[in-house]
Structure 1
Amino acid sequence: MSSGPGADSAPAPNHHHDARTTSLHTKGGTFSSLRIRNYRLFAAGQVVSNTGTWMQRIAQDWLVLSITGSSAAVGITTALQFLPMLLFGLYGGVIADRSPKRRLLLATQTAMGVTGVALAVLTLTGRVEVWHVYLTAFVLGLVTVVDNPARQAFVAEMVGPADLRNAVSLNSANFQSARLVGPAVAGVLITAVGSGWAFLANGLSFAAPVAGLLMMRTGELHRAERAPRGKGQLREGLRYVAGNPDLIWPIVLVGFIGTFGFNFPIWLTAFVNDVFHADASTYGLLNTLMAAGSLVGALLAARRGSSRPRLLVGAAALFGVLEITAALAPSFWVFALLLVPIGMCGLTINVTANSGLQMAADPALRGRVMSLFMMVFMGGTPLGAPLVGWITDAYGPRTGFLAGGVVSALAAAAVGLALARAGDLRLKVDFRRGHRHVAFVPRETAERPERLTATV
Structure 2
Amino acid sequence: MPVAVELTPAQRTADTLEEHRPTQTPARPERSPWRCLRSRSMRWWSTANLFSNLGTWMQLTVQNLLVLQLTGSAAMTGLSLSVQAAPGLLVGLLGGAAVDAWPRKLTAAVSQAVLGTMAFTTAALVSFHMLSVPALMVMAAVTGLVATVDGPATSLLGNDLVPESDVPSAIALGSVVHSVGRLAGTALAGITIAVVGEAGAYVVNGLSFLFVSAVIPFLRPVARERKAAPTPPRGRAADEPRMALREGLAFFMGRRRLVALMVITAVSAVLGRNYALTLATLVTGPLHGGPAAYGVVSTVLAIGGTAGAVLAGRLRRPSVRLVAVLAAAGGLLQMVAGCAPLLLMLLVVVVPMAIVESISDTAATTILQTDPPPHMRGRVLGVWNSVSTGWGLAGPPALGLLIQVAGARGALVAGGLIIAAVIGAGALAHGRLQRVSPAPVREAFATAS
**TM, length-normalised to structure 2:** 0.73
Name 1:453's counterpart in structure 2: none
**TM, length-normalised to structure 1:** 0.72
The 1-side partners of 2:409 and 2:135 are apart by: 28
Deviation of the 1:172 alpha carbon: 1.5
- When Rg is computed on C-alpha atoms for both structures, the one with the higher figure is 2
When residues 362 and 114 of structure 1 are mapped into structure 2, their CA distance, relative to the original with a 3 A threshold, is same
Contact 2:93 2:385 in 1 (8 A): no
After TM superposition, the structure 1 = structure 2 runs for residues 23-38 of structure 1, keeping only pairs within 5 Å, are 26-38=29-41
The 1-side partners of 2:214 and 2:321 are apart by: 40
1:232 aligns to 2:240 (yes or no): no
**CA root-mean-square deviation:** 4.1
Deviation of the 1:406 alpha carbon: 4.3
After TM superposition, the structure 1 = structure 2 runs for residues 409-428 of structure 1, keeping only pairs within 5 Å, are 410-424=418-432
The 1-side partners of 2:64 and 2:56 are apart by: 12
The 2-side partners of 1:326 and 1:196 are apart by: 42
Deviation readout 1:388-440 (Å, 9 max, x if unpaired): 59749x949x95796587446524531442244235489xxxxxxxxxxxxxx
Deviation of the 1:102 alpha carbon: 0.7
Name 2:156's counterpart in structure 1: 153
The 1-side partners of 2:250 and 2:181 are apart by: 37
Aligned residue among 33, 48, 54 for 2:57 = 54
Question: SS of 1:217's equivalent?
Answer: coil
Residue type of the partner of 1:185? L
After TM superposition, the structure 1 = structure 2 runs for residues 72-83 of structure 1, keeping only pairs within 5 Å, are 72-83=75-86
1:114 aligns to 2:117 (yes or no): yes
The 1-side partners of 2:340 and 2:126 are apart by: 36
Question: SS of 2:313's equivalent?
Answer: helix
Residue type of the partner of 1:214? P
* Ranges in structure 2 where 5+ consecutive residues have no aligned partner: 1-26, 230-237, 438-449
The 2-side partners of 1:261 and 1:67 are apart by: 34
Residue type of the partner of 2:50? V
When residues 286 and 249 of structure 1 are mapped into structure 2, their CA distance, relative to the original with a 3 A threshold, is same
Deviation of the 1:355 alpha carbon: 0.6
Aligned residue among 100, 108, 121 for 1:105 = 108
**Higher helix residue share:** 2
Aligned residue among 385, 390, 401 for 1:374 = 385
1:352 aligns to 2:355 (yes or no): no
Name 2:310's counterpart in structure 1: 299
Name 1:439's counterpart in structure 2: none
Q: How many residues align?
A: 400
Contact 1:267 1:400 in 2 (8 A): yes
Residue type of the partner of 1:417? A
Deviation readout 1:102-157 (Å, 9 max, x if unpaired): 11001111222233334444456666555444333322211111111222222332
The 1-side partners of 2:330 and 2:216 are apart by: 35
Name 1:202's counterpart in structure 2: 205
Identity %: 29
Deviation of the 1:261 alpha carbon: 4.8
When residues 154 and 294 of structure 1 are mapped into structure 2, their CA distance, relative to the original with a 3 A threshold, is same
Residue type of the partner of 1:49? S
Deviation of the 1:232 alpha carbon: 1.8
After TM superposition, the structure 1 = structure 2 runs for residues 120-159 of structure 1, keeping only pairs within 5 Å, are 120-123=123-126, 128-159=131-162
Deviation readout 1:164-192 (Å, 9 max, x if unpaired): 22212222122122223222323555688
Aligned residue among 252, 255, 278 for 2:263 = 252
Residue type of the partner of 2:207? L
When residues 236 and 107 of structure 1 are mapped into structure 2, their CA distance, relative to the original with a 3 A threshold, is same
Question: SS of 1:304's equivalent?
Answer: coil
Deviation readout 1:81-111 (Å, 9 max, x if unpaired): 2211111111111111111111100111122
After TM superposition, the structure 1 = structure 2 runs for residues 185-334 of structure 1, keeping only pairs within 5 Å, are 185-189=188-192, 196-217=199-220, 220-222=222-224, 224=226, 228-230=238-240, 231-259=242-270, 261-263=272-274, 278=291, 288-320=299-331
The 2-side partners of 1:66 and 1:335 are apart by: 36
The 2-side partners of 1:262 and 1:69 are apart by: 29
